[in-house]
Structures are given as C-alpha cells and as structure tokens.
A and B are shown apart, each in its own frame.
Chain A
C-alpha cells in the first residue's frame, strides 16, 4: 500500500487491532508517543504496551489539561522570565515545558496550533503578549475549534502580527480577514476577494489598547455585509461563526492534522479524510475526538504512517531527550532550535513552518548534528539526573550493542540496518573511551543518522 488513493477510508479509520504481523509492543507504543507527543522512556512504553492501543490513546487524549502542580511550576517559570522581557528566554521556558510536561499530546497540539496560528515575536516584540497567546493555545489545544478561533481573533499578539491592532472602518485591514480564511479555516479557493473585503469590514473597530483587546464602536462598520453567501450587519464574532460553518472547514483542518500527525506526503485524497471531517463536524468542532480517532486508527499504525514523517527540530531534539529522561540547558536548546529553523515563538511567517522535506537540507542536517553535540557536551545535560553511562547502567545496559538496541526501539520507526549498526559499533570500539564520553559519542552518531530523522 504505497498510495493513499487506494486506501479504503472505512478501513483507514477503524480502530487498530494488533495482530501477529503488527503486534502492539514497545515499538508501537514508541510510534504513538513520537507522534502524539515527543517520546517516552522505557517505563512509559512498557506501561502503554500493557494496555490495548485504544486505551493508550484514550489516556493521552484524556490529559487535555495540565496537572495543576505542573502548570503552577511551568507558569510561574514563564511569568518569572517575562520580567526580563526577552521572548528568547520565554522560548527557553517553553522548551522546559516540552521536556517535562506530563501531558504530551496537549503540548504537541499546542505546538501544532503555534504553527497553525503562526505569530512571531520578532514582529510582536512583546514577550508578555506572546506568553498570553501561548497560554490560550494550550488552554484550547484539545478543546473546541470554534472557541479557539474566536479567541485568537481577539488575541493581541495575533492582531499586532497581522497589522490589525488598529482596524478602522474608513480603512478596513484585510490581513487578518484573508489569513482567517486562507490559512486558519478554509484554504485557497474557498472564498473570493469580495469575501475578504467584507470580512475585513466585520472586524473594523477591533483594536489593541494598553496591550488589551477592545472593541471601538465608533470605528466599527455597522453596515450590511455579504459574506460567503450570507447577508447581514455582521460583527467580528458573527463573521468568525460564518467562516467556521463553511463546509470546507472540517476537511481543511483534518488535512492539516493528517500531515502533522500521520504522514508528510503524499497528500491524502478528500475521500480518505471525509470520515475524520464528519467526526469533527458531528462533535461540534471539538478537537479531541478527531485526534483520538486518528491516533487509534489502522492507518496511523500502518506502513503508510510509520516512518513516513520527517521529524521537526523540536521533535528530534526534545524527543531524544524525553526518550532518555534527559534534561539540559533549555536556553542553549531554544537558541539552537531557532538556529536550525524552528525557534519557538519565531515561526518564519504567517504560514508557519512548512514541515516535511523542508526540514531537511545539507545545512539543517549538519545543524541538527551540531546542536545534538552541543547539547550532549553541555555540562548541564543529564539523564535522569546522571551521566549517560550511569543512566544506561541503571537500566542494565553496559555495552554499546545493548545501548543501540534500546535507542533503536525508542527513537527509530524501523530497525537499524545491519551495516549501519556495525559501523556505529566499529566507531565506538575505535574511540578513546568506553566510558561516558564514548556512549555520548555513540548517541551523537546515532541521532545524526538519516534514519533517526524519520518519526
């Protein structure tokens, strides 16, 4: 099955049933955690493998809000670093959250929405606004899409980013109106230029004053608008509802989720996505049921998904550390992620990150390897609080063969080819040290492999 065109939609979204050919084991659980989160250590994988796949997915989806204990710590950290006013430090606080959050799907979905409703700190410049938006995305990440869009339409950071901080009826700003339909809800071809102009009129009077959203009724155009086949004196909220209720919206969102969570390419045909889109519509645009269906499906655990995504820098670095219970200097990691193309709070433009093959070229591949090396050599990097060798030793791993076997299960979608394994072992044997430095070198080589860039 190499083409998505020939996939039966009914089969695709049926719950996955393990079989002798496709058992539900550590490797399957690792696939789930890589996609629905960032990665899991052995004990987490073992716990998941003892459940059936649907239960494991249900557990991830049920964690739709952070535990209050973790939220208190992570929010306090973010608020404290906000005092410095530097969005890059805020980026480090998010990396801290990514590395330690107990609610992996929630954080992965927050990252998805950050790319979807892309807003860059380099233009907004206000770390506090970026933090407010980040909190909003997290609160609604697995909630209701309609509520999320209503909230994002009033988000100060978003409005500043799209030049809508002061939207006057004499000069309606079309940027937010255009992106709301093109990038956030409908996609190209599902609206006209006139819809853009009319939608922009609906948002007139929406502005940011003293860093807060407010409606300026003197600047709102109270006239009748013709928007997407409807006519009325719509304001912004009503306009957002009209956009969201368009028939093309569920399919548009499901296509984006498919590409983010299932596989980069080829593009899925509409008919394949229709069952997901119907679930989305039938559940009143709640996000969690769609993702639960997606992660529990035959398609998700099939060869059409496993190993068919290129890891983003965040997935690659954070995933590796999480899989090995790693902690590190999050400022170093946040800066490094920005250098190799995925700076948190610094998406490249309003379209967000392209993803897929765009993550990989000779420069970024080298950049990833260098960043891994920096992180592994940093004195603050620890694995469950220990050196890598001590961490491996605590798990009964004494030899490079055992280490490769464990990393292969956690970090690779497919078994490591024998020649590659031999090359790595040879390199380890010819190295100067069989101690911590030797294992760190081995891990660096392992995570720099092309095979390890696939999720």
Chain B
C-alpha cells in the first residue's frame, strides 16, 4: 500500500501511478487512530507518525547513505562537538532501555506518536504508544533522569496524582504520565485530566467522533506521517485573519496562489500527509472543495476541463512551470482580488502599459489576446563557445503563450518589443551600458525578433563580460504560439521544437505544475562556482580553502537531488497540493 501511496504523493507521476494511488486511497481508508479516542472533541489540530521506526529505517538504510557518509562535510560533522553529544545521548538511551536504540525506538513507538492542539484548554499533548508497558516505564525513567540533569535538581521531581495516576513535571511547562502502554506529555494540566478521564471512563465524547475528523481519516492511506487541521475552527477563532481575507498584496502571489486563498476562506478542514521512502519525500495537502467557492477567481480555476498545458521540456531544462490562468480576467478583477495598496500599483501600471501599447487597454486587449495557458521554462546556457562570456553565468528563461487571434496581435507585440528594446538602448546609453542590436530571423514556420548586446571595442573575446551578456531578448512567433525569451537560442528551440510526449509531464488534470531538476541546478552552480566562493568569503569572512569546502559541500548535497515537483489539482470535491523532492539514489557520483 505504501508504494501506491507514494505515487500519489509525487506531483507529476504517470497516469498509471496516479490511478493506482487514487485507487489505494479509496479502497483502503485508514481506521480512526486509537489516540483520537483519548483526545477531547475540542482538538483543532492533530498529527500522527504511525511508524517512526519504519521511517528511521527508510532513512538510515537508504541507498544514498554511503554517498552521504563519503562527503567531507559528513566527516567534519562526525568530528563536531554536537555529534559527540548526540552519540553520548544515544549511548545513555541504549543503556537505560537495555537494547539497541533502533529496537527501542521500534518498541516504544509501535502504536504511533500523536500530537494534538486543543482549543478549549489552549494546550498541546503528545501521546506515544509502546508495545509494552515495561519498556515504556524504562523510557519514562530515562526522560525523568534527563529532566533532572537539565534542571540541575537532585532528588525526585515534582509530581501529582489524578485518579490514581501519577504525573511528573519534566520542567516548568511540561508534565508526563504513563497510562499502561501509553505515555502522555502535555503543557496543560486540564488537557491532561481530560485525556486521563477519557482513558479511564471511555465514551464517545472524543475527537474520533468528530464528523470532520472522521471524514479526514477516510482519505488517509499508509503514510510516514499525517496531520489534520480544523481550518474552520482557526477561522472562527480569528487566528491569522489575513490568511482568510482572500486578498493578496502581491500580483505574483495572486497568480501563483490566489485559488488557495479562496479555499482557505471556505474549507472546513485540511489534511496533510508526508511520506518518506527511497525515492525521497512527498507531501500532499488536501481539503474539501466546492465549485461555488471559486466565485470571483474563475480566472484561476477555470472550468472543469481547463487545466495547465504540459510542462515544456527543452534540453538542459532547469525549471519548468505551467499554469492555467486567465491573466486578463485577473487584471480586470484585481479590485476584488487584491488589497487597496496592490490595486494602486496596478492602476499606475495599467495606465503606463496602456500608453506603451498605443492606447490599447492592457488588461482587456493585450492580456485578453492570450489564451489562459502559461508555460515558463528555465534552461542552463552553454557558454563554452560564446564570445564574450559573462563573468556571472545565468540560466536562460522564456514564457510561452498561445494567441487567440495571431494575425491581429502579432504586429502589435512585434512593435512593442522593438520599442521596448529601443527604450532600453536609450536608458542604457545614459548609464554607459552596452547597446542592443535589433534583428530578425525567419525560420520555416516561425519568426524571431532578436536583440543582441554589442560588446565594447576590445571586449569581444572577454571571459569576464558584464552580466548583460547573459541576455539576448527575443520575441518568437510560430502560428498561434508567442514566445518571450531571455535568449535567442532558447526562443529558437521553443518555436521549432514540437513538444515530445514528456514521460514526466504534468498530471493531466493539474491546474498548476512545476518541476526543478537537480542535475541542471548543479551545473548552474558549477558554472558560477567562483562567484559562490567569493560570496561565501565576503559573507562569512572565510579563507579561500574554507569557502571552497563549504561550496563543495553545497554542490555535493545538490548532486543528491534528482528533482523537486509541485502541483495543484482541483476537482469538484477536493483541492490537492502536492510537493515532492526526489533524491538521486542511483548515481555513483
């Protein structure tokens, strides 16, 4: 079941994996956790680690372990004082429990680790269920000994009785009690008493009886950890009110996450799951969703059939994102979606952009001429044969749109692009910046309007050229496709390449999807290694060798990353935000 769930956790799995994961989630709903029967119904947030031992095994026996241990930084860590203290603590733990720590951990947490936040007492509780009370008793002794050491107290710690059960104070804030094979730690006596009452008396007045909680549990499959939040309770209590206002300060934030703000305004609860396995870590956050909550943000959600276009997949891809967003609608409805301050800025921008586009309304005519499919891609540039070469080497990036009426809007975009480059030349000339040379390239079925920086005399073969030489802004047209790229090379690729059926393309029903590639990220960092070392020296005052070592460690860690993915899927009943970080278990580098 775990492998099936995993597929569900990743952002862009193949349809087959997606289908199996959904099937798993539907066919094997998780039972209500026993700890929920001990917790009061006023709990507003709950989290569980069902099998800590299995998660620890997954990490400690990971195929990457040898590569991590071979890193110089790991060697340094083992030599550090902190690692020494940790080793001492583990030795003390094993001595107290009388067994190796992994066995002890397995026994102590066999019934799971549970956290709860209670609204009525404003307290938090930690419940751990062991496979037997004797092991738990030894662990309790270990914790009490540790508490005595850290507080510097000699003799027994402060303790109290409630209905025959003894609770000890670990420190000024926390109290601990053992209930057979359960261990309870809480910061509020009142919450502790309610849990003890429930343990001793039983009854249905508990979290497990909450319909919202039961509904959430039904969607949980086999996971490393999961949590549930009663969003409605937080909303009603007025906690973090700005989260529920449904308005943003920042247009970019609105484009990326406006729909989630709508969701937070209405959804009763949210569930998050975390899964750790040999592929990496996957996080899924879901919440119930209703179409009527989308009112005002149709630009974000679209209709049911509107999903993001596939992720672009040119060679040397570093990052790609695809979104379904009707930018024209967002621009026109910004008064309802964004704060007053943001709207002031947008109003100014609207006036200026309308002037720039010869009086055509920017929101209605210009953005309105584009379909709500946005594709962004970032690629690593190859500077090997380029002259001049910039000292700081940046990736290339491009946006790809589809025009609704290409014949009508193509001349408009071409003219504005050329005007804008002319404007940059005038401004740049005043600051002594290099100048652009405008040009155009006619391909079989595409046209590129290019702008290339002209190097200064004597700088044509420089390998330390200014940062400007990363860019050759280009506008590309190919049928209805419009490409705005930071370099001619990338634009060339995007207007000519027929997108292959990418094996890790966006989930077919995703509203938003993004992917970051680890291998290309490392190449970008390698290209700028000297800059990173210099920055490290300046920021930390390090000597070159020390800075080199730190940057080397950073690159080693990045080399462990295969990719990171995010997606947002919206359907009639549910909104699902997924994120996954996959590690490169196979590479021997």
Contacts and interface: CB of A to CB of B under 8 A. Distances in A.
Contact of B541 (A76, A99, A210): A99
A93 B538 contact: yes
B467 interface: yes
Q: For A77, A93, A211, which residue has the most chain B Cβ atoms within 10 angstroms?
A: A77
A441 interface: no
Nearest to B537: A77
B461 to A, nearest CB: 15
Interface stretch (A259-267, A275-283, A326-334): A326-334
A80 B540 contact: no
B392 A83 contact: yes
Interface in B526-543: 530-531, 533-534, 537-543
B458 interface: yes
Nearest to B393: A83
B538 A125 contact: no
A80 B534 CA distance: 7
Nearest to A92: B538
Contacts of B164: none
B431 interface: yes
A382 interface: yes
A85 interface: yes
A96 B541 contact: yes
Interface in A234-270: none
Nearest to B464: A83
A433 interface: no
A329 B542 CA distance: 9
B390 interface: yes
Q: For A93, A99, A100, A380, which residue has the most chain B Cβ atoms within 10 angstroms?
A: A380
Given A80-B530, A85-B466, A210 B432 contact: no
A331 B539 contact: yes
Contacts of B538: 77, 81, 89, 92-93, 96, 329-331
A327 B392 contact: no
Contacts of B390: 83
Interface in B444-473: 456-458, 464, 466-467
A294 to B, nearest CB: 32
A137 B248 CA distance: 52
Interface in A326-344: 327-331
Interface string B405-434: 000000000000000000000000001100
A96 B531 contact: no
Contacts of B458: 210
A163 interface: no
Contact of B464 (A79, A210, A331): A79
B15 interface: no
B547 to A, nearest CB: 9
A399 B498 CA distance: 73
A84 interface: yes
B534 A81 contact: yes
A348 to B, nearest CB: 23
Nearest to B541: A327
A133 B503 CA distance: 56
A73 interface: yes
A195 interface: no
A193 B530 CA distance: 51
Interface residues of A, number: 28
B544 interface: yes
B391 interface: yes
A126 interface: yes
A115 to B, nearest CB: 23
A329 B539 contact: yes
Contacts of A79: 464
Nearest to B532: A80
A100 B546 CA distance: 14
Interface string A156-196: 00000000000000000000000000000000000000000
A83 B541 contact: no
Contacts of B464: 79, 82-83
A327 B539 CA distance: 10
B118 to A, nearest CB: 33
Q: For B391, B464, B531, B541, which residue has the most chain A Cβ atoms within 10 angstroms?
A: B541
A77 B534 contact: yes
B539 A380 contact: yes
Nearest to B458: A210
Interface string B505-535: 0000000000000000000000000110110
Interface string A65-85: 000000001001101111111
A86 to B, nearest CB: 10
B530 A125 contact: no
Nearest to A73: B544
A331 B540 CA distance: 9
Nearest to A72: B544
Contact of B467 (A84, A100, A328): A84
A84 B531 CA distance: 9
Nearest to B545: A73
A80 B391 contact: yes
A211 B458 CA distance: 11
B431 to A, nearest CB: 7
B540 A327 contact: yes
A442 B466 CA distance: 45
Interface in A411-431: none
A100 B466 CA distance: 28
A83 B391 CA distance: 5
Contacts of A328: 541
A331 B542 CA distance: 13
Interface in A369-406: 380-382
A328 B390 CA distance: 29
Contacts of B534: 76-77, 80-81, 93
Contacts of A100: 543
A132 to B, nearest CB: 14
Nearest to A85: B466
B334 to A, nearest CB: 34
A125 B466 contact: no
A83 B467 contact: yes
24 contacts: A73-B543, A73-B544, A76-B534, A80-B530, A80-B531, A81-B538, A83-B464, A83-B467, A84-B392, A84-B467, A84-B531, A85-B467, A96-B541, A125-B432, A126-B432, A210-B456, A211-B456, A328-B541, A329-B538, A329-B539, A329-B541, A330-B539, A331-B539, A380-B540
Interface of A: 73, 76-77, 79-85, 89, 92-93, 96, 99-100, 125-126, 210-211, 327-331, 380-382
Which 5 pairs from chain A and chain B are nearest by CB?
A327-B541, A83-B391, A80-B534, A380-B540, A83-B392
Given A93-B534, A93-B538, A211-B456, 5 more contacts: A73-B543, A82-B391, A83-B390, A83-B391, A85-B467
